[in-house]
């Protein structure tokens, strides 16, 4: 009888408190390097952060060589997007990862990131893996904005003009912009 009460108590407590899926923390040993095609970026003292489901999971500053160590505990995120920002660097998407091979991966990121193209030569967004809303960034002193007025009278402004994304800086590291994910890479 006592054993039955004990087992019933354990079972009820487990059902009431719920089951929690335990995951191990991921510790990334990372290296931020200059892209060989565009070596104008600084890699020392750059803030690197990872986002999952639009929430910042962890952030860290690189050392003078561009090395860093980043630790976070994944939950149910669909992907992990790595960004960097620093002196002369706007918030720049450097990689998007869906899974990790181990709990302690070693990863190398290039700034600006290396773009991937599909079979037709169009640039793929690292997050959504699509090409239909990816625009080349055009830098200039006075960017052109386009105005859109909906049927209900709502007015919105867009920096996309004649198939390019207009940016107000004179020169920037990002070469492309995904309008779906609102990310520069």
C-alpha closest to that of 68 among 55, 49, 81: 49
> Is 43:108 a contact under the CB 8 Å cutoff?
no
Question: pLDDT tens across 72-97, in order?
Answer: 998 888 899 999 998 777 889 999 99
pLDDT value of position 123? 94
pTM, full prediction: 0.76
Domain annotation for the chain: domains and CATH numbers = 19-114 (2.60.40.3330), 116-185 (no CATH)
Question: pLDDT tens across 153-182, in order?
Answer: 999 998 998 889 998 876 678 889 999 999
pLDDT value of position 101? 85
Q: Tell me the C-alpha distance between 15 and 17, whole Å.
A: 6
DSSP 78: S
pLDDT value of position 178? 93
Element (H, E) at 10: helix 2-17
Question: pLDDT tens across 51-73, in order?
Answer: 998 899 999 999 999 999 999 99
């Amino acid at each position: 009888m006592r054993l039955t009460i004990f087992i019933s108590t354990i079972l009820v407590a487990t059902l009431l408190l719920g089951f929690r899926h335990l995951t191990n923390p991921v510790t990334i040993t990372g290296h931020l390097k200059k892209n060989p095609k565009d070596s104008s970026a600084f890699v020392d003292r750059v803030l690197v952060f990872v986002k999952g489901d639009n929430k910042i999971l962890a952030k860290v500053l690189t050392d003078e060589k561009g090395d860093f160590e980043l630790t976070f505990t994944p939950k149910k995120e669909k992907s992990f997007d790595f960004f960097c920002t620093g002196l002369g660097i706007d918030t720049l998407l450097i990689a998007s990862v869906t899974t990790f091979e181990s709990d302690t991966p070693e990863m190398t990121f290039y700034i600006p990131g290396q773009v991937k193209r599909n079979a037709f030569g169009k640039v793929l967004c690292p997050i959504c893996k699509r090409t239909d809303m990816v625009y080349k960034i055009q830098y200039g002193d006075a960017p052109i904005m386009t105005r859109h007025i909906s049927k209900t009278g709502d007015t919105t402004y867009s920096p996309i003009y004649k198939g390019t994304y207009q940016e107000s800086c004179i020169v920037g590291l990002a070469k492309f912009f995904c309008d779906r994910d609102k990310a520069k890479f």
